[in-house]
Structure 1
Amino acid sequence: MHCISIFNLKTVMYKIVSLLILSTIALSCKSAKISKTITKTVSSNFYDNQFTGIMIIDPETADTVYQYQAEKYFIPASNTKIATLFSALTLLKDSVPAFYYQKKADTLVIQGIGNPTFLHPYFKDSTALRWAKNYKHVKIIESSFADDKFGPGWAWEDYDTYYSPERTAFPMYGNVASISNSSQLEVSPKYFKDSVFQKTKKISRAYNTNIFYYDTTKTRAVEIPIVFDSLTSQNLWKHILPGKISFSKSRFTEEPNIAYSIPSDSLYKRMMYESDNFLAEQMLIMASSNITDTLNTALVRNYMLDNYLTDLKQKPRWVDGSGLSRYNLFSPLSFVQILSKLYATIPRERLLNFFPVGGGSGTLKSWYGGNPEPYIYAKSGTVGNNYCLSGFLLTKSGKILIFSFMNNHYKTPTAENKTRMQQIFEYVRDTY
């Protein structure tokens, strides 16, 4: 019986090894077929006058399914938010840090920590306001905020556009004025009700003043960035809590506590689904509080590159959290490496939930539909003449692949690039 058991075991092991070998050969053949087909596609005349890079890997086998100029640098646009997501998941807790605080008898002392959800039009977090209502006096310490209100390389003419709010240490209302005109003119925050005028020019706000312009013949809701200096902050706080608020440049007398607000995952998902630049920037500000007393996004980016992303084959030029800046430079390989780190540490269901779904949600709602099952979970990045997409691809064989597909400096319509990308994704889905 003993000899028979050993014999049977050897037979089983032989079959397992044989199956593994056959499986490896099959995957190798599939990769070769995919490589030949995609290379033929990107060698067409369409790609002659643009820069394109592609990286696709199988994270289970660590095999490269396809690569094309994957180690070259590209302008990533909002694909940068993948690095921001990785940083937030690494440095922040399960709940969003709302503010620093100390309690002193009838006085609450608070200081901003970069939390973007406070009175935000979507999140409507009122943690700081609820706390403040319970005290006779509220002293707000002006934070040591080292960043400029706009990131390096941001387009100056976007100052009045919804996607370019200013960065601040203690945001309020998403740092935007929300204006609509369904039955009557509605303005939030109400403090700016008398600062909204009939729109006669293209701009939506005076250049460096909180004078807003809205077309009252329309009903469409708009969001216009606020000029958020210290005086604006004081006026907004005093408007919602008259007689209670004072401001100070002094420091806490002892180590402050941190109050928390909403679950962090809801913030991450919103940032990724809507490609929200403001949320992305503020997430890095909050993350910086874990490594320094001064809120500084450059410090947190360098900290991540020096400690958690040291193995990236091409060190990125990473200058902001949102990807608004054309100074950012990442390679497709770098994004695949960052996504691989996320895939290795975050449960699959939770991880995919952060990413827009092809044909289903967020910025991918109109593209990469699965018909019927979704197969693309990814972050897009779009800035004039550049379009990138990085994330996860589910094959019909049940595999999950990690990819980054980056296109720069084209003059053809972005939709044409997306159409060709979709054809490649569908081929990989059906073949691998």
Structure 2
Amino acid sequence: MSKNKFTQKGSGSIIVRLKKNSNNQPHFTMLNTINLTKKFLFSTLFISSVAFAQVDVQALSQELPQGASLAFVAKNLSNDQIVADYNPSTFMLPASTQKVFTALASKLVLGDQFQFETSVLTNGTVQNGVLNGDLIVKFTGDPDLTSGQLYNLLAQVKKQNINQINGNLILDTSIFASHDRGIGWIWNDLTMCFNAPPSAANIDGNCFSVNLDANQPVGADVKFNIPSQFPIQVFGSVKVVGSDEAPYCQLDVIVHDNNRYQIKGCMAPQSQPFGLSFAVQDPDAYAAAIVQRQLNRLGIQFNGQVQIPHQPQNGTVLAQHLSKPLPDLLKKMMKKSDNQIADSLFRTVAYHTYNRPASFQLGAMALKRVLSTQAGVKFGHTIVADGSGLSRHNLIDPNTMLQALEYIAKNESTLHLMETFPIAGVDGTISGRGGLIQPPLVKNVLAKTGSLKGVYNLAGFMTNARGEKVAFVQFINGYSTGELENKTKRAPLVNFESKLYNAIYAQ
């Protein structure tokens, strides 16, 4: 064969001659094509049709407000083909889609039989109704523990003929270490209940409510009414103002030590009590106060000190409370996007992985280690700061999240995780998602949402028109419609999602 001619023999041939252009540079020129096989033609047409069939996400992204950033990927899991993608390797804030990682890691490490345990122990003995020794309350991060359940736990102690404690009250919260909030959590959200600290001692979600009575004359002070079961203090100065001043009013809360809250500002007259909820700032002090109140209510005398040591405590178990098993906790976490369940599990996974008190930093190490070694997720340069997605330090790209979704789908027969995802038009955080509540998407899209200021994310599954399973990840950051803060600001999002997912369904 000459060096300037290529010949393919068989059922057909292609002759190409090497020539030089005006710049004396070589280029190839097709001279003749004959007798192409049907197989070659079919392959060419098939490749072209696949490329053409991809959803044009870039064109659809024009529905979003100016300035919004989009990263997206969708994969047909039945034929292992990407059906739509746009910036799939771009890092974004995942928000609560981060809970997909947390749910998967929890399943792999803790298992379906796992339950959080809250127990009461003693290192002493009981004689004639007196406990000679310390009463130890061991908390392990149960995010669903209520004050009523804690009372019932202590009531079991009372039934063991214990009327007096000659010792100290020890709260064992040693399962977790360092701060009870993740790095990158916004400071001015820390008093909000969705930002309540997911600590080892977690009672009633570490959240309490206060009623403001503004049914007062203009110029008077608003009255604060605090339900008696909450061992906190609320004080401050909030004035009732007229209609001319009310549009400029703002309520601010300042947090002081020992769970004291100062509220400042003003508000218009209200005929009904105005409710506010706040996150507990010192969970250990809060738990200690509740336990002491409940002991007093049960008629158990206690005059010792309250201690919170760093080391785990041992003793004879007097009573025990178990949370609901992991599948129930995960369903609540995913359907309702419960941040405290997510971050309690995040650190609990770390505790069981490394067998040491778990910080948020250790949680990040554990999650990456578990998902990379057991689920094959390649994290690359991604940043994981918490298990809930609250942190503004989290950076995930759609391709990485897609790997977790693929593993879930492939192993669903043992994981049973897809049933925890919210269902469009049915339940959870996408029950009323405007772009997904009409056929054929309603009841057909299963997706974990992720929402922060300017963030509208989805990660989940749908079944297309041919009955094939499709996994998808949508990250939208920087979404803003300016000063329009009512529900119409979602209109561009509704239009975008409706067109995008209907197009994917039709693939």
Q: Deviations over 1:256-314 (max 9, x none)?
A: 99863212222222222222222221221332331323132321321221232254344
Per the alignment, do residues 248 and 409 of structure 1 end up closer, same or farther by CA in structure 2, a change over 3 Å counting? closer
Match of 1:233 among 263, 280, 287: 287
Find the aligned partners of 2:173 and 2:404 in 1 and give their Cα distance: 35
Query: Does the 8 Å CA contact 2:121/2:314 hold for their aligned counterparts?
Result: no
TM, length-normalised to structure 1: 0.80
Residue 171 of structure 1: how far off its partner (Å): 0.8
Q: Which runs of 5+ in 2 are unaligned?
A: 1-42, 214-223, 240-248, 482-488
User: What does residue 254 of structure 2 align with?
Assistant: 206
Q: Percent identity?
A: 18
Code of the residue aligned with 1:115 in structure 2: it is D
User: What does residue 260 of structure 1 align with?
Assistant: 322
User: What does residue 437 of structure 2 align with?
Assistant: 369
Code of the residue aligned with 1:419 in structure 2: it is N
Q: Deviations over 1:217-264 (max 9, x none)?
A: 435654311122533321121112224665352543479998632122
Match of 1:294 among 357, 361, 370: 357
Taking the TM superposition and a 5 Å limit, the aligned residue runs for 1:19-418 are 32-42=51-61, 44=62, 46=64, 49-93=67-111, 94-99=113-118, 102=121, 105-106=125-126, 109-119=136-146, 128-129=153-154, 131-135=156-160, 136=162, 137=165, 139-143=170-174, 145-179=176-210, 190-192=229-231, 195=234, 200=239, 202-203=250-251, 205-208=253-256, 209-211=259-261, 217-219=271-273, 222-242=276-296, 243=300, 246-249=306-309, 251-253=312-314, 260-291=322-353, 292-310=355-373, 311-315=376-380, 316-347=382-413, 350-367=416-433, 368-371=436-439, 373-412=442-481, 413-418=489-494
Query: Cα RMSD (Å) of the superposition?
Result: 3.7
1:421 counterpart = 2:497: yes
Residue 403 of structure 1: how far off its partner (Å): 0.5
Query: Does the 8 Å CA contact 1:191/1:239 hold for their aligned counterparts?
Result: no
Per the alignment, do residues 338 and 255 of structure 1 end up closer, same or farther by CA in structure 2, a change over 3 Å counting? farther
Say how many residue pairs are matched.
404
Find the aligned partners of 2:447 and 2:426 in 1 and give their Cα distance: 12
Query: Does the 8 Å CA contact 1:359/1:374 hold for their aligned counterparts?
Result: yes
Q: Counting helix residues as a fraction of each chain, which structure ranks higher?
A: 1
Describe the SS at the equivalent of 1:262.
coil
Find the aligned partners of 1:91 and 1:398 in 2 and give their Cα distance: 32
Q: Deviations over 1:384-422 (max 9, x none)?
A: 222211111122322221110111223334541242022
Residue 134 of structure 1: how far off its partner (Å): 4.2
Per the alignment, do residues 405 and 260 of structure 1 end up closer, same or farther by CA in structure 2, a change over 3 Å counting? same
TM, length-normalised to structure 2: 0.69
Q: Deviations over 1:197-228 (max 9, x none)?
A: 78557446432343376997435654311122
Find the aligned partners of 1:259 and 1:341 in 2 and give their Cα distance: 34
Q: Counting strand residues as a fraction of each chain, which structure ranks higher?
A: 2
Greater shift in the superposed pair: 62-71 or 303-312 = 303-312
Describe the SS at the equivalent of 2:278.
strand
Residue 371 of structure 1: how far off its partner (Å): 3.1
Q: Deviations over 1:59-89 (max 9, x none)?
A: 2332222222112211111111111111222
Code of the residue aligned with 2:499 in structure 1: it is Q
Q: Which runs of 5+ in 1 are unaligned?
A: 1-23
The structure whose Rg is larger is 2
Code of the residue aligned with 1:275 in structure 2: it is S
